[in-house]
Amino acid sequence: MINLSVYKYSSISFLEMVVQSKKKGRNENIPYYKDRIKLLVPFLEKSYQKYDAAFIVGRLCDLSAVSNINLNEKEDLLKLYNYSSKPFINLKNALISLPNNRELNTCQYCTINDVNTLDHIMPKENFPEFVVHPKNLIPVCSQCNSFKSNKWLKNGNFEFLNLYLHILPIQQFLFVNVNYSNSTFDIKFFLKNKNGIDSVFFNIIENHYNNLKLLERFNSKSNEIVSEFENSIAGSLTKLSLEDALECSKATIDLERIRLGFNHYENVLKLELCKGEAFRQYFNLKGYK
Ligand SMILES: [Zn+2]
């Protein structure tokens, strides 16, 4: 999991681009949707200024839902968002691009699936005025998006990490227990604040992982990762001793941390396999020392 770069252009000009992209339908009743939404633009601009001001100081939690939107207006606002339309595809592409013309097309909420939608950080049902605010949109996978649903704050605490605003710690908070017995690996991921992360922040991490069922999702991917890693180690055992092969892999994992973040579940698991007893037992039983 890594922090993502924030949309760098004006949020109001993105809104204008979205409004501009709407067409007047031939069979539409008057007043046209495009004309109705244009009437809401001054209100949206004011809301955007409030969002941007709160974003700069990292206080989105201070924004309260506006009460003066009627149901028809809410419906019109929600219709502004359409993931498959050009402004949103362009936005998604901008948000997943990294320096050196690289892309990170993996959902950073889970680091498992490919990105295939945008999540509304502040839920669009409760905050329809921010339905197309580019800093309120984050590229994710549809599985995370459906687990997240309309959750946002609970008793004043964030239910999810905001990957634009919450700077991810370099301390390890995701761990894994690996045991090898009866020819099978038993693998269980867990969260623990062993390295002094601020307790309020660690609570947000726990909420994020629990709400998105990440530990279960990591556990169910773990056999696949072990098999792949087992093959890569076995490949190097033609030239290297088991200890040297594990040392080399540790060095690779260290480099991967820069690219994928310090608590990427695959790296956490591979590192535990390199350091712990389970993998050694498995290879020793196969005759490697
Ligand atoms: Zn995801």
List the chain domain ranges: 11-155, 174-285
Neighbours of 205 (CB within 10 A): 22
Tens digits of residue pLDDT in 43-55: 999 999 999 999 9
Residue of 81, 72, 63 whose CA lies nearest to 120: 81
For residue 221, the CA-to-ligand 1 centroid distance in Å is 13
For residue 145, the CA-to-ligand 1 centroid distance in Å is 7
Tens digits of residue pLDDT in 151-176: 999 988 999 999 999 999 999 999 99
**The predicted structure's pLDDT at residue 13:** 95
| Weakest-pLDDT range from 216-220, 248-252, 284-288 | 284-288
Query: CA-to-CA distance for 159 and 131, rounded, in angstroms?
Result: 19
Q: Bridge partners of 187?
A: 178
For residue 120, the CA-to-ligand 1 centroid distance in Å is 13
Average pLDDT, the chain: 93
Tens digits of residue pLDDT in 66-86: 878 899 999 999 999 999 999
Tokens 């790296």 correspond to what residue?
267
Q: Bridge partners of 185?
A: 180
CB-based burial of residue 97 (10 Å sphere; 0-12 exposed, 13-18 middle, 19+ buried)? middle
For residue 142, the CA-to-ligand 1 centroid distance in Å is 7
Query: CA-to-CA distance for 221 and 237, rounded, in angstroms?
Result: 25
- Reduced to 3 DSSP states, what percent helix, strand and coil does the chain have, rounded to the nearest 5? 50, 10, 40
Q: For residues 281 and 99, which has the higher predicted lDDT (pLDDT)? A: 281
For residue 229, the CA-to-ligand 1 centroid distance in Å is 23
Whole-angstrom CA distances from 145 to 115, 123, 138, 141 are: 10, 11, 10, 6
**The predicted structure's pLDDT at residue 286:** 87
**Torsion of Cα atoms, 277 then 183 then 228 then 283, to 10°:** 50
pLDDT exceeds cutoff 80 at 184: yes
Tens digits of residue pLDDT in 200-212: 999 999 999 999 9
